[in-house]
Amino acid sequence: MATAIIMPRNGQSVESCIITSWNKKVGDEVHVGDILFAYETDKSSFEEEAKMDGTLLAILHEEGDDVPCLENVCVIGAPGEDISEFTGGAAAAPAAEEAPKAEAASAPVPEKEAAPAAKATAEKAVGVSPRARNTAARLGVDLANVTPTGPNGRIIERDVLAAEKSTSAALKAGVPAGVTGTGLGGRITTADIENAKNAPKAAEAAPAAAPAAAAAPASVGYRDEKITRMRSIIGKSMKKSLQEIPQLTHMMSYDTTQIAAFRAALKAAPETLGLPKITINDIVLFAVSRVLLNHPALNANTIDENTMRFFDHVHLGMAVDTPRGLMVPTIFNADQKSLAEIAVEAKELAAKCQEGSISPDLLSGASFTVSNVGTMGVEYFTPVINPPQTGILGVGGMTDRIKVVDGAVKPYKAMGLSLSFDHAAIDGAGAAKFLKELATALENFQSLLAK
Amino acid sequence: MSKQVYVDPKATRAPRTITFADIDVNKYQKAVKDELGNIPNADLVQIYKDMLYVREFETMIQNIKQTGAYQGTEYNHPGPAHLGIGQEAAYVGQAYLLTTDDYSFGSHRSHGEIIARAMRAVETLPEDKLLEIMKGFDGGKIMKVIGDSSDDIRMVGRNFVLYGMTAETFGRENGFNRGLGGSMHAFFTPFGVYPNNAIVGGSGPIAPGAALYKLSNRKPGIVVCNIGDGSLACGPVWEGMVFSTMDQIRELWGDEFTGMPILFNIWNNSYAMGGQPVGETMGMHDHARIGAGLMPNELHAEKIDGYNPLAVIDAYRRKKDIVKEDGPVLFDIVTYRYSGHSPSDASTYRTKEEIEAWEKEDSIEAYGKQLIEAGLATEADLGDMKAAVTEDMHRNMKLAIDEKISPRIDVFGKTPNAIGDLMFSNQEVRSFDTTRKAEVNMPYEESPRAVMFAKKERKGIDEKGNLVGKNKVYQIRDALAEPILKKFYEDPTLIAFGEDVRDWGGAYAVYRGFTETIPYHRFFNSPISEAAIVGAGVGYAMSGGRAVVEIMYADFLGRAGDELFNQLSKWQAMSAGVLKMPVVVRMSVGSKYGAQHSQDWSALCAHIPGLKVVFPATPYDAKGLMQSAINGTDPVIFFESQRIYDYGERFHLEGVPEAEYEIPIGEPDVKREGSDVTILSIGATLYRVVEAADILKEKYGISAEIIDARSLVPFNYEKVIESVKKTGRIIVTGDACERNSFMRNLASNITELAFDYLDAPPVVVGAKDWITPAHELEKCFFPQPSWIIDAIHERLLPIPGYVPSHNCTTLEQIRENAAGV
């Protein structure tokens, strides 16, 4: 009897394998132990041995085919046997489909006796009308925050409009400058700036109105508050980044002795040089802009599942904490700018963000981001990647450490660097190399300047 | 009802006896030799040959059906074949004295009639006229195939008939009706052959309409209604006969009108499919008998031996003029078919001996012997004729089955919409006869109705915003009447009839004041015969006229089911555009009169391909749509609501113009703009929708957009979709019972076409799926303003604090459907 050979499942997570070579042709005699074909997953290579004697009657997938596990790959049997039931891979598929059908058919049986149709309708069918969905998308309203008032608990358009109205009222009350960060992590996006422009009077709204949205405090010592729209968006976008990007964080510290000396020297430099004030952060930005070009996978954007975009230059996103929320302006072509130029630009951008006068064009387009929370005493943290970027560097504060130099214990000031990177874009070793190179560059900053 | 006919109680109650004259049976017993000198010798021989042509055509089909080949040429014909082998003498005898002015209508077993009549036309038409017809037909397509090089134009004509008929039977584009009629519906009007009909007795009520056309328009020729003996059990056939025997033609229409020029020609082959009308399924024994039941002149009925072609010719010779002068006439023509009802017929209902006995008396064999006896032909001549006929048939059959020469309509390729494009003719023909003046009794301005129109206030709302009084306002009934009255003056072929249309003015006085204006032969009361009313409209239009017919209540359209659903709707496409069907069928939707007088059956009409369906609800729309209908060339089912006949124009604030205008059929109308919910109404619910919209606005601050569907078929959804894009919600309402109503169709299409814009599925608020109760209970049955608000609250947009009075939840919908009510 003709027998189909299936693509084995080598591991629970393996969904399909690619056939790399066929060792037998159709019509070849096959003996137990003969290698039929070789195949591979993204992690390893395998060979499939024949488990029966016979003739290879049909090859159902060619070299290079990505074959779902358990699907028929070839057929072995006696010459002339009917193999129609295996061809086209159709034989296995319906069988697989039948099983869930049977389950589905058997499941509702107990319910059937209790008039299932009526029950289904009686239940609160929480749905969203197509129009409400469209309106929510248009207005940027999160349907999770919409209270349904339609028939059978359906969210209808007026609910979306009501939610939009109350949210904007709350925001007007709570955000002094009238700009709401709706981007990742509460970042203020281009659209937010535009929205703020369209609502110039928002800043005048009374801040005292905010508590009005709160529920009355319970006597047992807590109070329930409706989650604000901004927090909700921050939560959602954080979740999205963390759910969709396989990200992890490498941490490393470096000795800041040289850059501290360098900064001291700068401070002592004659005014005639016209140097701007240069901060540790400027120095880190400069070092990143020089080192990053050696690591294209981190100076990149993920366009879609199949496409990465590698940038010719370094466009550094720079996290700025403002009263309105976190903003990330971009220093374009940072790799072509001097330390002084970077320092000046960073200061300007930060000031504009504080004022709320930043051009929307400068709030996007970064290829990599640097976030600095060191002044707050954080040593290391796990910054969250801002998609579609592939990495973000978290800069920590300075701490006293000791190390052994020539047999003697020597104290020094160390600074923590935390690199979160997208494992889909770069492996751990590659990311570590970048971090190491960056630390080395910072430790030998004067040499870097000479470069 | 007519004031002219006095019902004298004395005479009505006086004692007397009804007597009947004798009806002749098979009186003619002559042979060829007896007719020498009466009928030209060549004709006597040609009769034989024409019988051979009929038999050979039927034999060809029979051989193909039974053996897959004819004369060695293989072919498969899966379509129908109702053959008349054995009936040739009757067909050819009938055709002999008919001219192309005489219209014959037939049945599903009419190949023989068509071929006999067409062959006779080929023999008798002047050569130039014959050539003109053949070359002019459908761009000369048949002539291109058969060629016209032959010196013998009659032979070209025979090829024309055989090829055109075979191609039609086999569904080829070169057929007489582009293959869209097929075996049972073939016809060729230039030869006087009018549609044949697959419905038993289908021609019964249609042919009288053709006779009416000849009578009313004073056209030459008679109409022959060919029906089988089995069809005498069909109601519509009787209705057609009653319609044709109306006393008024002789008594009231005027001296020049002496009878309906129609001949009911019954092919009596003793079988109604397999049932036997004599001895089994009916009780007339001699069908000629029914003439005595229909009129005192007994329809000049007689029974004729149709196995002798000369007997049939003799009957037509004696009675054809009587048909014209004192019609109708009824012939019961004895014949017999050897072939089965259809190829699947195993003839289990009759004995072999019976068939053999008739075959022994075969009309063709017998007639051939008479020719030899009379010295008109030898045995060899007859053999030569048979061979020639077979060769002619075989040659044309081969042409007709050649895929290259005789392709089918290319619906799978270049012309995928070819059939769809034929469903409506969509033309504007203001008058179907511009050569003569319309016959009317007085100038338009003097017509009592026109005088009334002139006094009417054409606006329904006065300057103060109040409704204009009913007696003064120009009403929907006026709006329906005005274009028809004017059309009576413009199109001399326009005819209108129905029950009580004349003095009564129709049950709802739409035609009030027409009686004095329009002569009887253009405007008359019909018998209570809805099948004949609609059927006669169909026959009238087939003959080239325009008709507006009325069946009073929509509830009565079941009585005209075949005529509406198989005839009126189908013939434009089945004729491949040869026929136009400018017929308006008016019917009203009632209320107050209970279960059988209050139904909106628009969905039934909308379901049938080939009918346009309108339902105006305002005077402005009624006039514009009626104008479109009677300027057009398509059948239009015109629904009217009895609730609102007396309503003035409340939406079109300029009022209803006196001048002519058209509202295109198929365009809904936004009657009131709004932003929160759209309410789409069919018919008279419009006014309840307005009430609901007012309440919504005043009490709940909800702004409703009101759209009046106006038309059902065709229907342009664009305006509705635009509205739904704006409002996101729609209610569809009308007075029809909700299940399978046109409202459901609208709702379904709107869901598909505007899905992304909908805030909830469209909701249908129709009448209950019950009987219509008494007037006092109607508010539990027909949609009410409160139902519309309830539906908005429960299904679309819950209104805070609103308490619905009517359960229109989905649970109730499930319960009602589960119960089937």
Confidence of residue B4 (pLDDT cuts 50, 70, 90): confident
Distance CA A194, CA A267 (A): 40
Residue A116's pLDDT is what?
38
Asked whether residue A190 falls in the same domain as residue A64, the answer is no
Asked if residue A57 belongs to a domain, the reply is yes
Q: Is A31 a catalytic residue?
A: no
Asked whether residue A420 falls in the same domain as residue A295, the answer is yes
Contacts of A330 (CB under 8 A, 6+ apart): A315, A316, A317, A318, A362, A363, A364, A365, A366
Question: How far is residue A362 from each of residues A97, A189, A327, B632, measured CA to CA in Å?
Answer: 52, 10, 10, 66
Distance CA A130, CA A135 (A): 9
Asked whether residue A321 falls in the same domain as residue A246, the answer is yes
Residue A202's pLDDT is what?
41
Mean of the pLDDT values across residues A50-60? 89
Sign of the Cα torsion B180, B182, B184, B186 reads positive
Confidence of residue A108 (pLDDT cuts 50, 70, 90): very low
Is B814 in contact with A151 (Cβ distance < 8 A)? no
Asked whether residue A373 falls in the same domain as residue A431, the answer is yes
- Whether A447 has a pLDDT exceeding 70, the answer reads yes
Instruction: Decide the pairing of beta strands A325-327 and A320-322.
Output: antiparallel
- Give the minimum alpha-carbon distance from A340 to chain B in angstroms, rounded to a whole number: 55
Q: Which residues of A touch B (CB under 8 A)?
A: 117-118, 121-122, 129-132, 134, 149-152, 154, 156-158
Mean pLDDT score of chain B:
96
Distance CA B272, CA B275 (A): 5
Confidence of residue B1 (pLDDT cuts 50, 70, 90): very low
The string of DSSP letters for A122-184 reads HS----B-HHHHHHHHHHT--GGGPPP-SGGG-B-HHHHHHHHHHHHHHHHHH-TTS----SG
Residue at which a domain ends, from A97, A125, A148: A97
Q: Is A192 a catalytic residue?
A: no
Total domain count, chain A: 3
Residue of B nearest to A129 (CA): B759
Distance CA A418, CA B74 (A): 88
Contacts of A341 (CB under 8 A, 6+ apart): none
Asked whether residue A339 falls in the same domain as residue A405, the answer is yes
Distance CA B126, CA B144 (A): 21
Residue at which a domain ends, from A97, A130, A154: A97
Confidence of residue B480 (pLDDT cuts 50, 70, 90): very high
Using DSSP's 3-state secondary structure scheme, residue A57 falls into strand
Is A129 in contact with B755 (Cβ distance < 8 A)? no
Residues of B in contact with A156 (CB under 8 A): 759-760, 796-797
Mean pLDDT score of chain A:
79
Is A152 in contact with B810 (Cβ distance < 8 A)? yes
Distance CA B746, CA B757 (A): 16
Mean of the pLDDT values across residues A410-415? 92
Asked whether residue A125 falls in the same domain as residue A89, the answer is no
Residue A198's pLDDT is what?
58
Confidence of residue A214 (pLDDT cuts 50, 70, 90): very low
Residue A218's pLDDT is what?
44
CATH number at residue A319: 3.30.559.10
Q: What is the pLDDT of residues B322-358, one digit of tens each?
A: 999 999 999 999 999 998 888 777 788 899 999 999 9
Asked if residue A205 belongs to a domain, the reply is no
Residues of B in contact with A117 (CB under 8 A): 814, 818
Q: Which residues of B touch A (CB under 8 A)?
A: 728, 755-760, 794-798, 810-811, 814-815, 818
Is A131 in contact with B728 (Cβ distance < 8 A)? yes
Asked whether residue A364 falls in the same domain as residue A402, the answer is yes
- Give the minimum alpha-carbon distance from B743 to chain A in angstroms, rounded to a whole number: 21
Cα B121 to chain centroid distance, Å, stands at 26
Mean of the pLDDT values across residues A202-216? 43
CATH number at residue A14: 2.40.50.100
- Whether B630 has a pLDDT exceeding 80, the answer reads yes
Cα B486 to chain centroid distance, Å, stands at 25
Is A131 in contact with B796 (Cβ distance < 8 A)? no
Is B756 in contact with A157 (Cβ distance < 8 A)? no
Say if residues A15 and A88 touch (Cβ distance below 8 Å): no
Asked if residue A423 belongs to a domain, the reply is yes
Question: How far is residue A270 from each of residues A263, A266, A275, A312, A447, measured CA to CA in Å?
Answer: 13, 9, 9, 36, 22
Asked whether residue A148 falls in the same domain as residue A267, the answer is no
Asked whether residue A309 falls in the same domain as residue A403, the answer is yes
Q: Across the interface, which of A117, A122, A129 has its CB nearest the CB of B759?
A: A129
HSE-up of B748 (CA within 13 Å, CB side)?
7
- Tokens 């709160």 belong to A214
Asked whether residue A133 falls in the same domain as residue A23, the answer is no
Cβ contacts below 8 Å, chain A against chain B, sum to: 46
Residue B383's pLDDT is what?
97
Residue B236's pLDDT is what?
98
Segment among A178-192, B126-140, B242-256, B272-286 with least mean pLDDT? A178-192
Asked if residue A216 belongs to a domain, the reply is no
Lookup: tokens for B720: 């509705």
Mean of the pLDDT values across residues A248-264? 91
- Whether A90 has a pLDDT exceeding 60, the answer reads no
Mean of the pLDDT values across residues B173-188? 93
Asked if residue A194 belongs to a domain, the reply is yes
- Whether B22 has a pLDDT exceeding 80, the answer reads yes
- Tokens 């069988």 belong to A95
ipTM: 0.72
Residue of B nearest to A128 (CA): B759
Asked if residue A212 belongs to a domain, the reply is no
- Whether A364 has a pLDDT exceeding 90, the answer reads no
Residue of B nearest to A123 (CA): B811
Residue A110's pLDDT is what?
39
- Whether B32 has a pLDDT exceeding 50, the answer reads yes
Confidence of residue A14 (pLDDT cuts 50, 70, 90): confident
Residue A125's pLDDT is what?
41
Residue A13's pLDDT is what?
67
Asked whether residue A259 falls in the same domain as residue A345, the answer is yes
Cβ-count burial of B71 within 10 angstroms (0-12 exposed, 13-18 middle, 19+ buried)?
Answer: middle
Burial B771-782 (b: 16+ CB within 10 A, else e): ebbeeeebeebb
Using DSSP's 3-state secondary structure scheme, residue B314 falls into helix
- Give the minimum alpha-carbon distance from A161 to chain B in angstroms, rounded to a whole number: 12
Domain that holds residue A23: 3-97
Which position among B111, B287, B597, B806 bears the catalytic label?
Answer: B597
- Whether A183 has a pLDDT exceeding 80, the answer reads no
Residue of A nearest to B792 (CA): A151
Confidence of residue A256 (pLDDT cuts 50, 70, 90): very high
Residue A111's pLDDT is what?
39
Is B757 in contact with A151 (Cβ distance < 8 A)? no
Q: Across the interface, which of A121, A130, A132 has its CB nearest the CB of B811?
A: A121
Q: How many percent of chain B have pLDDT more than 90?
A: 93
Confidence of residue A177 (pLDDT cuts 50, 70, 90): very low
Mean of the pLDDT values across residues B300-313? 98
* More reliable by pLDDT, A164 or A97: A164
- Whether A64 has a pLDDT exceeding 90, the answer reads no
Residues of A in contact with B818 (CB under 8 A): 117
- Whether A204 has a pLDDT exceeding 70, the answer reads no
Asked if residue A210 belongs to a domain, the reply is no
Distance CA B440, CA B519 (A): 6
Q: Across the interface, which of B759, B794, B811 has its CB nearest the CB of A131?
A: B759
Asked whether residue A81 falls in the same domain as residue A172, the answer is no
The string of DSSP letters for B359-421 reads HHT-HHHHHHHHHHHTTS--HHHHHHHHHHHHHHHHHHHHHHH-TTTSPPP-TTTT-TTTTGG
Segment among B485-494, B502-511, B547-556, B570-579 with least mean pLDDT? B502-511
Residue A200's pLDDT is what?
47
Side chain identity at residue B553, one-letter code: Y
Averaging pLDDT over each range in A69-73, A293-297, A400-404, B288-292, which range is the top one? B288-292
Asked if residue A215 belongs to a domain, the reply is no
Instruction: Decide the pairing of beta strands B69-70 and B612-614.
Output: unpaired
- Give the minimum alpha-carbon distance from A118 to chain B in angstroms, rounded to a whole number: 6
Burial B410-421 (b: 16+ CB within 10 A, else e): eeeeeeeebeee
Q: What is the pLDDT of residues B694-719, one digit of tens each?
A: 999 999 999 999 999 999 999 999 99
Q: What is the pLDDT of residues B241-283, one digit of tens each?
A: 999 999 999 999 999 999 999 999 999 999 999 899 999 999 9
Q: Across the interface, which of A118, A122, A157 has its CB nearest the CB of B728?
A: A157
Residue at which a domain ends, from A45, A69, A97: A97
Residues of A in contact with B797 (CB under 8 A): 150, 156, 158
Residue A96's pLDDT is what?
38
Confidence of residue A220 (pLDDT cuts 50, 70, 90): low
Say if residues B600 and B554 touch (Cβ distance below 8 Å): yes
DSSP state of B651: S
Confidence of residue A388 (pLDDT cuts 50, 70, 90): confident
DSSP state of A279: -
